A and B are shown apart, each in its own frame.
Chain A
């Protein structure tokens, strides 16, 4: 299985990940190698097998419900404490659309 450099750039875009020109061919090689290994799964017939998303245990359907007890949430100040840029109680980000 090969992943072309064009594919790599497309996936990097989907992942919001800037890759350098040196990283792209390396990623193409490494991912190709891993995807080739993964192809072995095609040898297994799984047509009648339920997919497993989570380790599940028997419990009452309402088991995870809890009392709706009010509690103090994180303060605005605490929530913003690790922000790179904030002001007036909000996160600040660069402009979303460049109209230039």
Chain B
């Protein structure tokens, strides 16, 4: 059976090979993976809940299929961790909030169902900022996650647990969600691959809503191929989500292996202002590497980038203030004591159940939607969103992809920015635009700071052109590893 070291470096391919050669059964691998993850978890606090029953029953199904000689699913036996804002039937889903401490969902998210249909094994639920609101995982009601690459630093957020588990090796692949950078920024901070697909590429059914017009589910893995395999397995139209897309799903894993020679990639000037010189130097090296592989690099401008932060914090909080109205002490497991009227109960429950960042965003969202302010804030932000999206459409007329940093700086210290919301928000300035425009984007590790902190390269592509995005990432990864 696998040693802990090999468990920590599992890939979808190595799991498949091991099962095919009968080196281990899915049950043996699942038991070992659970034991390893549980033993290692105190170091990072990445997992909030383990799901051994569900995992072992899924593993038994995989073993039975193999015994029958049926073809193996694309993710057969692969240990999967799921961000705790994605619902899992019968397995507690907290959203990192006190409000949902005891919430047991009565259904599964479509993304989870599709991955399990391909044989994936859900071993547990991963820590995150409360309701996915944050950039450091410090807004979790269950304590921060520590970055496996530097335990005194944040793993990024909001999908901090999802990135940390993959970096630590306590999951082979994980699911996260991205509304303003919550997959790419932690992937960059933890040195793993993280993908935000095109808006609508993956069904949001079962993703607890933060900002519905911006929310995405996406994968984390230790290499580009594994991310592509997971995305391929969960992508596609779902009748349960009317915003999920009909567009055909490309064979990412085949297409990414074609050479990048001749691809036209843009470097937006606006993404190279205000970042640390260290990050800038690492990104420049990565760009040179892609140039040496035959990509044509062009300086471009995405002129409305500087408005993204303001635009995002109006739209995201407005949608959040509406989406989070449902946590009212009636349906979702928590009600504050204290009696009084129904209105008192609502107010007391929400005051006690939400953490400070969630309250701040509900307040901002309520304010920008309130009578007399709607046009000045919300409508204005929606118009600016059009301009930001148009920047991408215009740029992509002559380009195949866009390269940029993920974050202006690498992982910061736990506690460093927690009392300064605006400075925390600034760690997302390069990722917000992708969500606002709805284009696919990802982070691929591309180097380290002097202190050994990982830095990620961000790759954007056209709507539904994940194949080109993966091709750039895969070719870069192959040219720089080993």
Is A57 a contact partner of B245 (Cβ separation < 8 A)?
yes
Chain B residues near A52 (CB-CB < 8 A): 382-383, 385-386, 389
The answer to whether the Cβ of B103 comes within 8 Å of any Cβ in the partner chain is yes
Asked if A27 and B200 sit within 8 Å, CB to CB, the answer is no
- Check B5 for interface membership: any CB of A closer than 8 A: no
Question: Which residues in B have their C-beta under 8 angstroms from that of A51?
Answer: 379, 382-383, 385-386
| Given A19-B351, A46-B380, A55-B438, residue A31 in contact with residue B310 (CB < 8 A) | no
In contact, B377 and A38 (Cβ under 8 angstroms): yes
B347 within 8 A of A: yes
- For residue A13, give the distance in angstroms from its CB to the closest CB of chain B: 8
Given the contacts A12-B363, A37-B309, A50 and B343 also touching, CB distance less than 8 Å: no
B310 nearest in chain A by CB position: A38
Q: Which residue of B lies closest to A42 (CB)?
A: B380
In B409-446, the 8 Å CB interface with A consists of 421-422, 425, 437-438
A11-B366, A40-B310 in contact; A55/B213 too (CB < 8 A)?
yes
B residues neighboring A (CB under 8 Å): 102-104, 106-107, 199-200, 213, 239, 242-243, 245-247, 304, 306-307, 309-311, 313-314, 321, 325, 328-335, 339-348, 350-352, 354, 356, 359-360, 362-364, 366-367, 370, 377, 379-387, 389, 421-422, 425, 437-438, 463-464
Q: Is the CB of A74 within 8 A of B333?
A: no
B335 to A15, Cβ gap below 8 A? Answer: no
Question: Chain A binding site: helix, strand, loop or mixed by DSSP?
Answer: loop
Q: Are B313 and A34 interface neighbours, CB within 8 A?
A: yes
CB of A82 within 8 A of CB of B366, answer no
| Shortest distance from the beta carbon of B137 to any chain A beta carbon, whole Å | 20
> B350–A17 contact, CB under 8 A?
yes
Q: Is the beta-carbon distance between B370 and A82 smaller than 8 angstroms? A: no
Decide yes or no whether A88 CB sits under 8 A from chain B. no
**CA A35 – CA B325 in complex, angstroms?**
22
CB distance from B247 to the nearest CB of A (A): 7
- With CB as the reference atom, state the residue of chain A lying closest to B359: A17
For this complex, 30 residue pairs linking A to B, each with C-beta atoms less than 8 Å apart, are A8-B363, A11-B370, A12-B363, A15-B362, A16-B328, A17-B363, A18-B348, A23-B356, A34-B313, A37-B310, A38-B313, A38-B377, A41-B380, A51-B379, A51-B383, A51-B385, A53-B382, A55-B213, A55-B389, A57-B464, A64-B242, A74-B106, A82-B102, A82-B106, A82-B332, A93-B329, A93-B342, A96-B341, A96-B342, A98-B340
Q: Roughly how many angstroms separate A37 CA and B317 CA in the complex, as a whole number?
A: 15
Residues of chain B within 8 A of A55, CB atoms compared: 199-200, 213, 389, 437-438, 463
Binding site secondary structure of chain B: helix
> B335 touches which one: A50, A74, A85, A97 (CB < 8 A)?
A85
- CB A49 to nearest CB in B, in angstroms, measures 4
Tell me if A79 and B359 are in contact (CB < 8 A). Answer: no
Sorted nearest first, the 3 A-B pairs with minimum C-beta distance are A18-B351, A55-B438, A51-B382
What CA separation (Å) do A44 and B180 show in the bound complex?
22
The reply to whether A11 and B367 form a contact with Cβ atoms under 8 Å apart is yes
CB interface residues, A 57-96, toward B, < 8 Å: 57, 59, 63-64, 66, 74, 78-79, 81-85, 91, 93-96
B358 to chain A, nearest CB (A): 10
6 more contacts with CB within 8 A, not counting A57-B464, A94-B344, A96-B342, are: A18-B352, A20-B351, A27-B363, A57-B463, A63-B246, A82-B331
Residues of A within 8 A of B (CB-CB), count: 54
Known: A17-B354, A46-B384. A82 touches B377 (CB 8 A): no
Q: Which residues of A contact B107 (CB under 8 A)?
A: 74
Q: Is A2 an interface residue (CB 8 A)?
A: no
Query: Closest residue of chain B to A78, judged by CB?
Result: B106
Residue numbers in B under 8 Å from A17 (CB-CB):
347, 350-351, 354, 359, 362-363
Residue of A nearest to B387 (CB): A49
Interface pair A37/B239, CB less than 8 Å apart: no
Q: Which residues of chain A (1-45) have a CB below 8 Å from chain B? A: 3, 7-8, 11-12, 14-20, 23, 26-27, 30-31, 33-35, 37-38, 40-42, 44
Given the complex, which residues of B lie within 8 Å of A57, measured CB to CB? 200, 245, 247, 463-464
Instruction: Provide the bound-state CA to CA distance between A55 and B343, in Å.
Output: 36
Nearest Cβ on chain B to A1's Cβ, whole angstroms: 11
User: Cβ of B311 and Cβ of A18 under 8 Å apart?
Assistant: no
A84's partner among B246, B325, B334, B344 (CB-CB below 8 A) is B334
Cross-chain contact A11 with B387 (CB below 8 angstroms): no
Q: Is the beta-carbon distance between B360 and A16 smaller than 8 angstroms?
A: no
Q: Which residues of B contact A8 (CB under 8 A)?
A: 363
Give the distance in Å from the alpha carbon of A82 to the alpha carbon of B100 in the complex.
10
Tell me if A41 and B311 are in contact (CB < 8 A): yes
Give chain B residues whose Cβ lies under 8 Å from the Cβ of A3: 367
Query: Are A83 and B341 in touch, CB under 8 angstroms?
Result: no
With A38-B310, A44-B307 already in contact, the answer to whether A95 and B342 are too (CB < 8 A) is yes
Cα-based distance from A82 to B464 in the complex (angstroms): 38
Other-chain contact of B384, A34, A41, A85 (Cβ < 8 Å): A41
* Chain A residues with CB under 8 A of B307: 40-41, 44
